[in-house]
A and B are shown apart, each in its own frame.
Chain A
Amino acid sequence: MAEVLVVVEATGAFGVKKVTLEMLTLARELGEPAAVVLGGPGAVDAMKDKLGEYGAGRIYAAESEELDAYLVAPKAAVLANLVREVQPGFVLLASTQEGKEIAARLAVKLDNGLLTDVVSVDADGVATQAVFAGSTIVKSKVTRGLPIVTLRPNSVTPSPSPTTPQVSTVEVALDDAAKLAKVTDRVAEQKGSRPELTEASIVVSGGRGVGSADNFKLVEELADLLGGAVGASRAAVDSGFYPHQFQVGQTGKTVSPQLYVALGISGAIQHRAGMQTSKTIVAVNKDAEAPIFELADFGVVGDLFKVVPQAAEEIRKRK
């Protein structure tokens, strides 16, 4: 069986991202999973055990300071050489900003098709995508080259399949074209223990109804009690209640958690775009006619300033 290259995504704060484990789980159904680590020196050592636990029989290790010193292009260059060399059956990347950007460059370098925002793919390369805000389900296929697929986080349930990976070193030799966009600083803004928005299995979001940046503490409190991430509607972001990187929707993040809690959010079509594929949806809104209730599995018509503190208290009691 051909190898399936899984391009590892990791963050400084959280290590190997969950979507990487999802890709490894999916890769096991498509061929022989091989993780590709594109990172600074020491990256493989930090991630090896985790990748092995989820079935990476091989790790292609490309480690160089240069991979992190420039934006995306070096990673795509190394990956393209690796693909030419090992001729994998599939290349899987995360459907995140960076994953899609690497995929974009790879597709051009190899003159190859790519499919983004995929939720599943079968061994024949037929991929399922949710388009137009999840309202339309599409089956599609790469018709030139091998399938380059970016997988949307929270599409697959990661399951372990422990193995001891064999590590193969990959040479990092970059030409000048890969070194045009230099990263001069990385600044962490919202550190903390909360899971990342697109990866979280529970997301608690607040909208304009939350009323102020200060009141967002209520949203954070409920999120923390549930072990979830915090999201926000665009109206909440535009009003300065919460930072933009937490915006859910058409022009923000697409999330697909097990549970989505919408507090003081009306449920505009552009907001739904980012959350309507969530497994279970719960809403609190004082307007019984708010469109969010059309998709809520459980809705409370009421004042969030009463309902949310009571719910928080009840969760604490049950703990």
Chain B
Amino acid sequence: MKIVVLVKQVPDSGAERNLRADDNTVDRGSANNVINEMDEYAIEEALRIKEAHGGEVTVLTMGPSQATESIRKALSMGPDAAVHVLDDALHGSCAVATSKVLAAAISQLSPDLVICGAESTDGRVQVMPHMISERLGIAALTGARKLTVDGSTLTIERQTEEGYEVVTANTPAVVSVWDTINEPRYPSFKGIMAAKKKPVDTKSLADLGVDPSEVGFDGATSTVLEHAKRPPRQPGTKVTDSGEGGVQLVEFLASEKFV
């Protein structure tokens, strides 16, 4: 099975994240950039399918030049190769435009299966798999906590508010995964060494046949007008329990009309 895994580089969600003052985009320059956590689960799932059914796994990233670090890290887990869509005209792209670029890159690779994270921690939009599915006319199986592959039939358990749904489709398809699906492996020393030699194919917009006017700020379908830091919350009252903590808690709740 030919599998493409979508891997996005994002600013570490454990540190302070900012929007740039000059153009309102995510500040990736000063941030500590990491692989979007959910995408590690996507990589792991792809590797397990390859191990069980054979095939090859290609990592696909659209992002600025520093995204190569994340690509090498992803490769060190075990995928065979990577495609890095890199073009200055991409800066400022909205989700709609990003999906156009990723769809173009995917169709050049003509995979049986595309696996991605359920959402990215910088955008948190959960839109990419369905946008790609819509553009490529392939099935989208999203929000998977379990994926089974039987020949060309894919079946997922999709996590919902009330439980789960069983959803099935034939390849080619795009599947998005939550972090409940598996436990990603750590790259081995051998994996890290091998990753240095794996092919990373850098593609420009011209290589993909996408017009630069359709992406970046020119092609954006929405714009950020302004942004500001939310003032930090002010801590309130803190009491130390000396036998009455529960009662004091309820007194507070009552004063706020919750009880």
Please, how many angstroms separate the alpha-carbon atoms of A269 and B223 in the complex? 27
A116 within 8 A of B: yes
Q: Are A300 and B239 in contact (CB under 8 A)?
A: yes
B193 within 8 A of A: no
B-binding segment of A30-38, A158-166, A206-214, A290-298: A290-298
A-binding segment of B49-57, B66-74, B77-85, B132-140: B132-140
Q: Are B227 and A314 in contact (CB under 8 A)?
A: no
Supposing A245-B159, A251-B38, A282-B253 touch, asked if A139 and B227 sit within 8 A by C-beta, the answer is yes
B258 within 8 A of A: yes
Please, how many angstroms separate the alpha-carbon atoms of A298 and B237 in the complex? 5
Q: What chain A residues lie within 8 Å of B259 (beta carbons)? A: 226, 315, 318
Q: How many residues of B contact A (CB 8 A)?
A: 85
Which residues of B, 167-187, contact A by the 8 Å Cβ criterion? 167-170, 173, 178-180
Q: Are B126 and A101 in contact (CB under 8 A)?
A: yes
CB within 8 A of B164: which of A187, A202, A284, A297? A187
A142 within 8 A of B: yes
Please, how many angstroms separate the alpha-carbon atoms of A13 and B161 in the complex? 11
Q: Are B241 and A301 in contact (CB under 8 A)?
A: yes
B-binding segment of A39-47, A57-65, A81-89, A127-135: A127-135
Q: Are A97 and B99 in contact (CB under 8 A)?
A: no
Closest residue on chain A to residue B172 by CB atoms: A180
Please, how many angstroms separate the alpha-carbon atoms of A311 and B139 in the complex? 50
A8 within 8 A of B: no
CB distance from B35 to the nearest CB of A (A): 13
Q: Are A135 and B229 in contact (CB under 8 A)?
A: yes
Q: What chain A residues lie within 8 Å of B254 (beta carbons)? A: 318
Closest residue on chain B to residue A185 by CB atoms: B166
Q: What chain A residues lie within 8 Å of B16 (beta carbons)? A: 135
Q: What chain A residues lie within 8 Å of B190 (beta carbons)? A: none
Q: Are B135 and A282 in contact (CB under 8 A)?
A: no
Which residues of B, 151-171, contact A by the 8 Å Cβ criterion? 155, 158-170
B226 within 8 A of A: yes
B197 within 8 A of A: no
B206 within 8 A of A: no
A-binding segment of B1-9, B104-112, B141-149: B141-149
Q: Are B131 and A140 in contact (CB under 8 A)?
A: no
Closest residue on chain B to residue A249 by CB atoms: B13
Q: Are B238 and A296 in contact (CB under 8 A)?
A: yes
Q: Are B163 and A187 in contact (CB under 8 A)?
A: yes
- Cβ proximity bits B238-250 to A, threshold 8 Å, 1 near / 0 not: 1111001111111
Closest residue on chain A to residue B135 by CB atoms: A108
Which residues of B, 208-259, contact A by the 8 Å Cβ criterion? 220-230, 232-233, 235-241, 244-250, 252-254, 256, 258-259
Q: What chain A residues lie within 8 Å of B229 (beta carbons)? A: 135-137
Q: Are B139 and A181 in contact (CB under 8 A)?
A: yes
Q: What chain B residues lie within 8 Å of A130 (beta carbons)? A: 230
Please, how many angstroms separate the alpha-carbon atoms of A282 and B250 in the complex? 10
Counting chain A residues whose Cβ lies within 8 A of the other chain, the interface size class is 35 or more
CB distance from B34 to the nearest CB of A (A): 13
Please, how many angstroms separate the alpha-carbon atoms of A203 and B166 in the complex? 29
A50 within 8 A of B: no
Q: What chain B residues lie within 8 Å of A177 (beta carbons)? A: 137
Q: Are A299 and B130 in contact (CB under 8 A)?
A: no
Which residues of A, 73-129, contact B by the 8 Å Cβ criterion? 73, 76, 96-97, 100-101, 103-105, 107-109, 111-117, 126
CB distance from B230 to the nearest CB of A (A): 5
Q: Are B166 and A297 in contact (CB under 8 A)?
A: no
CB within 8 A of B167: which of A183, A294, A314? A183
Please, how many angstroms separate the alpha-carbon atoms of A233 and B166 in the complex? 26
B29 within 8 A of A: no
- A–B pairs, 22, beta carbons within 8 Å: A72-B142, A73-B134, A100-B126, A104-B125, A104-B130, A114-B95, A131-B19, A139-B224, A141-B225, A143-B223, A180-B139, A181-B167, A184-B167, A226-B258, A280-B256, A282-B249, A293-B238, A300-B239, A300-B241, A300-B246, A307-B245, A310-B246
Task: Show the binding face of A for B, using Cβ within 8 Å.
Answer: 11-13, 71-73, 76, 96-97, 100-101, 103-105, 107-109, 111-117, 126, 130-145, 177, 180-191, 196-198, 202, 226, 244-245, 250-251, 254, 258-259, 268-270, 273, 276, 280-282, 284, 288, 293-303, 306-315, 318
Known: A116-B127, A132-B17, A144-B220. 13 other contacts (CB 8 A): A13-B162, A137-B230, A141-B225, A142-B221, A143-B221, A184-B155, A226-B259, A259-B256, A280-B256, A284-B245, A296-B235, A301-B245, A318-B250
What 6 A-B pairs have minimum CB-CB distances, sorted nearest first? A310-B246, A302-B241, A113-B221, A189-B163, A180-B139, A104-B127
